[in-house]
């Protein structure tokens, strides 16, 4: 059966992460059978990481505040998590299913495909987003 996505529910979760007037900074999307649905959202990145278990496959849309002494700004990332115990068939399917998620999650600075929980480290994600962000004035003396 072809995978489908709950567009309305996923779009609502996506928009809440993008909204500067909410404190929501992540949303996760998981599989329920052959349907991709919101798996939760929150303000603590550690909560998102706890959903990334060895037997899970999910997508995360995360807001990270980056910047330097001159400017702070929100950057967004799309994280595809594939746990170590996910079957080969499910691993292969996730890359085609990602197009359904990208129809909703359209604005992000960097995309990650992660299977190792160590790569979910918030500082690693922040550093990679900072690299993707262009000008960095941290190195200049104030």
pLDDT in tens, 12-54: 999 999 999 999 999 999 999 999 999 999 999 999 999 999 9
Q: Looking at the predicted structure, is the pLDDT value of residue 135 above 90?
A: no
How crowded is the C-beta side of 95, counted as CA atoms within 13 Å?
6
Residue 141 forms part of a structural domain: no
- Total number of domains in the chain: 1
Q: Looking at the predicted structure, is the pLDDT value of residue 139 above 60?
A: no
> 3-class DSSP state for residue 5?
strand
Structural domain containing residue 14: 4-132
Residue 78 forms part of a structural domain: yes
- What CA–CA distance (Å, rounded) separates 105 from 23? 18
Question: What are the tens digits of pLDDT across the range 78-112?
Answer: 999 999 999 999 999 998 999 999 999 999 999 99
Cross-sheet strand order for the sheet of 35-42: 4-5, 35-42, 26-32, 57-67, 72-82, 110-114
Q: Looking at the predicted structure, is the pLDDT value of residue 141 above 80?
A: no
CATH code assigned at 106: 3.40.20.10
Closest listed residue to residue 36, CA positions, set 17, 60, 64:
60
Q: Looking at the predicted structure, is the pLDDT value of residue 66 above 80?
A: no
Residue 142 forms part of a structural domain: no
Residue 87 forms part of a structural domain: yes
Q: What is the pLDDT of residue 7?
A: 97
Residue 92 forms part of a structural domain: yes
Q: What is the pLDDT of residue 142?
A: 40
Residue 137 forms part of a structural domain: no
Residue 62 forms part of a structural domain: yes
């Amino acid at each position: 059966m072809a995978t489908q996505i709950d567009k309305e529910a996923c779009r609502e979760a996506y928009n809440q992460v993008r909204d500067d007037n909410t404190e929501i900074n992540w949303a996760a999307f998981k599989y329920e059978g052959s349907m991709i649905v919101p798996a939760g959202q929150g303000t603590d990145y550690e909560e998102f990481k706890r959903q990334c278990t060895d037997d899970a496959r999910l997508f995360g849309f995360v807001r990270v505040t980056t910047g330097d002494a001159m400017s702070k700004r929100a950057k967004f990332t799309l994280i595809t998590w594939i746990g170590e115990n996910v079957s080969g068939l499910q691993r292969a399917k996730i890359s085609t299913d990602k197009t359904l998620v990208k129809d909703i999650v359209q604005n992000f600075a960097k995309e990650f495909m992660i299977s190792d929980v160590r790569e979910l480290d918030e500082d690693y994600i922040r550093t990679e987003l900072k690299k993707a962000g262009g000008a960095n004035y941290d190195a200049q003396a104030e």
